[in-house]
Structure 1
């Protein structure tokens, strides 16, 4: 009888990867799904994490604690996904995506839902316009560029030469001022 063959290092490595994926798939999938609402996004993240795991396992330096490594990479991918979604500009939203929750015109009362609603909409738009006009120009410009045009602070800084922290402060002051100016309207 021949002695059993010892698996080659690559076969052992492949078996280790398969065993780890099988062992961690359910826990990792549940971890991601609890943090990501869209099941398609959650599945994409899970696949990305396992793909990165496979690539990392084939490198010369071994992964010491595979489970901890997988969860750390998953957490990073989730954060990356949320950052990408936050950076979506209004132009991207209007290009057929129809992501209705992010459109300002859909947050306002409908203009064709009756005379009272049309009046409320007109009053809200007038109050918003007046509040924006009352802002100092530098605050108004930063607010409009970031909130309405979807321009990132880094892009604004590169274009204007103004430091990012200054732009952030200007937007913060604009938001605080707008809240104060529009508070009476919202209380009604």
Structure 2
């Protein structure tokens, strides 16, 4: 039987957690930083992973391979963050008055060779996918997303109904998602 713990003496479970964190922190931090450009976000993910480790240690089932478990959780957190970011709607420039630019949403060319490559690959894939669209869909997508024109202004300028313009843009977006998903998936996240 173990002696009672004093307030300054950590439990065996706390010692196991501290040992695992000390052992895996450098490799795990590097793993996350290679996949997440924003270093603050990378640190947030690292902290989330360690918080989940502490919670997992409280469960009745033990973790067999702590290192492998941590890397799997880190990868899942990274994927979750990218999915969450991808689901955020693009700002409506016509209504907000902001100068939205698609190129600012892409990885920065100055963020290192991986980011520059990703930016080039995404832009090339976007150009190719836009070229595949019927002219009326391509024009609406470019006018709305890249030039910031409102559907109302486009409807007035072309004499085409807003619902028709919305439908054309929807078809363009569906096509672009389908064509760009393999490119996005090709990047290690």
Are 2:103 and 1:101 aligned?
yes
Measured against aligned partners, the alpha-carbon deviations of 1:129-154 in whole angstroms (never above 9, x if no partner) come to: 49997xxx58515247xx5xxxxxxx
Aligned counterparts of 1:95 and 1:130: Cα–Cα separation in 2: 18
Question: Contact between 2:140 and 2:168, CA under 8 Å: does it hold in 1?
Answer: no
> TM-score, length-normalised on structure 2?
0.51
Measured against aligned partners, the alpha-carbon deviations of 1:152-181 in whole angstroms (never above 9, x if no partner) come to: xxxxxxxxxxxxxxxxxxx228988xxxxx
Query: Residue 90 of structure 1 aligns to a residue in which SS?
Result: coil
Task: Identify the residue that residue 128 of structure 1 maps to in structure 2.
Answer: 139
Mapping 1:57-68, distance limit 5 Å: 57-68=57-68
| Alignment: residue pair count | 123
Structure index of larger Rg? 1
Query: Which ranges in structure 2 are unaligned for 5 or more consecutive residues?
Result: 106-137, 144-159, 180-189
Aligned counterparts of 2:69 and 2:26: Cα–Cα separation in 1: 15
> TM-score, length-normalised on structure 1?
0.52
Task: Identify the residue that residue 175 of structure 2 maps to in structure 1.
Answer: 172
Higher relative contact order (CA 8 A, sep 6+): 2
Query: Which ranges in structure 1 are unaligned for 5 or more consecutive residues?
Result: 104-126, 148-170, 177-188
Aligned counterparts of 1:44 and 1:131: Cα–Cα separation in 2: 35
Question: Contact between 1:139 and 1:174, CA under 8 Å: does it hold in 2?
Answer: no
CA RMSD of aligned residues (A): 4.2
Are 2:158 and 1:142 aligned?
no
Question: Contact between 1:139 and 1:173, CA under 8 Å: does it hold in 2?
Answer: no
